Structure 1
Amino acid sequence: MFTLKQAGLVLAATLLSGCSAVSSTTSKLFPDMLQTAPASEFDVMHPEWADAPMIAATSVEGPYGQTRTESWNVLESYLVNNGLDYELVPGDYVMIRLKQQIHFNTGSAHVAKTSVHWLQQLASFLSNQQGIDVVIGGHTDNTGTVALNDRLSDKRAESVRQTLINQQVPRQIIYTRGYGENVPECTNQTQFGKACNRRVELTLIVAQ
């Protein structure tokens, strides 16, 4: 197989013998020249660009080894375009935890008005998708008894679930769980911290 240096010498010699010879010589030496010519900076960075590895357009893995699917691409585009921050949870499946949370008043399971708009928009998106499940986790601060907070966290998760269902999200893809006061995100020693802990978190699971 010719190297680029050898190919360059042959082409230079051929040019000296006349333009008509160029076409026949190059076609014999490089029958697929147009197909293998460097088409991007990636190709240029490889001296032997004709044998450079191909970058796969499909089956790309995520940072934790998950297979990137069309559903993942669509979901990611939606979140980015709508300014919804998220984090990818380690695991065999694609699990995206939204950083945007739904907060509640003390003792209430009613979705706050500040959360209704983006939650309804998300529901509208999910209602037209396949292969994306929703896990809803309800949480409370430490006000009241443990038993009371367990029930309240369940009610908060169920309230968000019903909001999604009202926007035509199939109920069979929605899962809820109440954590009570057991998984605080902030300190319960301040009013601000308590407000932070009165929340519902959403995790979206994309089927492989």
Structure 2
Amino acid sequence: MLKLKKIVAVAVTGAAAIILSGCSSMSATTSKMFPAMLETAPRGESDVMHADWAEAQIMSSARVGGPNGQYRTQSWDELETYLVNHGLDYELIPGDYVMIRLKQKIHFNTGSANVADGSAQWLSQLASFLSNQNGVDVVIGGHTDNTGTVKLNDSLADKRAESVKRALVGNKVPQQMIYTRGYGEYVPACTNSTQFGKACNRRVELTLIVAQ
């Protein structure tokens, strides 16, 4: 159902449980098992579809352990410094790989795959930084609200992820560093019962994977 493009393959046991904020029920469709949501970082090369993450050039490191056992690298230090200096909040996903999920989302107008003006500026700045980094991959996840048909929203989520990819590539981020996937309307971040909630769900989320 969900079209995945170059996705991190994380082993999942059993059905995935998805909490829909503000929703009182879950349809039979949404109760199916969804692809891994990068809630846990891959633990080794066998857990990733694109093994070049595991084979990426090892950056210089002081071998200082991170909060989940990851080792500090130059790329990780530079990325964290950039995010802090530009006020971009993030969370570190537990696991052996360094995976940083940005809390800042890229938003879209209803039915549109064009990045909203409010997101374009910081995305362009992030792209400029990433274009000079050799040790950071980008996973782009596209989402929609529940307006329209399921088929339409699946396609729109893919288009939104691809739109962000084009914006990054247009700012000289190497295409081989970027991976996209679309989730349609199935993973809302907010309720779809209000216009504010729908606007919240029309989004792209970015996860940055740092080579070790």
- TM-score w.r.t. length of structure 1: 0.72
Query: Of the candidates 160, 169, 176, which is equivalent to residue 173 of structure 2?
Result: 169
Asked whether 1:181 is paired with 2:194, we answer no
Query: Of the candidates 95, 99, 123, which is equivalent to residue 99 of structure 2?
Result: 95
What letter matches 2:111 in structure 1? G
**Structure 2 equivalent of residue 136 of structure 1:** 140
Percent of matched pairs sharing the same residue: 76
As a proportion of its length, which structure holds more helix? 1
Instruction: Report which of the two structures shows the higher radius of gyration computed on alpha carbons.
Output: 1
**Structure 1 equivalent of residue 85 of structure 2:** 81
Asked whether 1:127 is paired with 2:111, we answer no
Which residues of structure 2 form unaligned runs of 5+?
1-60
Give the 3-state SS of the residue equivalent to 1:135 in structure 2. Answer: strand
What letter matches 2:128 in structure 1? S
Give the 3-state SS of the residue equivalent to 1:136 in structure 2. Answer: strand
Residues 73-112 of structure 1, C-alpha deviations (whole Å, 9 max, x = no match): 0000000011111111112210001111111111100001
Query: Of the candidates 161, 169, 182, which is equivalent to residue 157 of structure 1?
Result: 161
What letter matches 2:136 in structure 1? I
Residues 52-71 of structure 1, C-alpha deviations (whole Å, 9 max, x = no match): xxxxx921111111111111
Give the alignment's Cα RMSD to 1 decimal: 1.0
Give the 3-state SS of the residue equivalent to 1:61 in structure 2. Answer: coil
What letter matches 2:211 in structure 1? A
**Structure 2 equivalent of residue 51 of structure 1:** none
Q: Distance in 2 between matches of 1:92 and 1:156?
A: 29
Q: Give the Å deviation of 1:145.
A: 1.1
Q: Which has the higher contact order (CA 8 A, sep 6+)?
A: 2
Q: Distance in 1 between matches of 2:73 and 2:187?
A: 31
Which residues of structure 1 form unaligned runs of 5+?
1-56
Give the 3-state SS of the residue equivalent to 2:179 in structure 1. Answer: strand
Q: Give the Å deviation of 1:131.
A: 0.8
Query: Of the candidates 31, 52, 75, which is equivalent to residue 71 of structure 1?
Result: 75
**Structure 2 equivalent of residue 42 of structure 1:** none
Give the 3-state SS of the residue equivalent to 2:167 in structure 1. Answer: helix
What letter matches 2:167 in structure 1? T
**Structure 2 equivalent of residue 26 of structure 1:** none
**Structure 2 equivalent of residue 109 of structure 1:** 113
**Structure 1 equivalent of residue 65 of structure 2:** 61
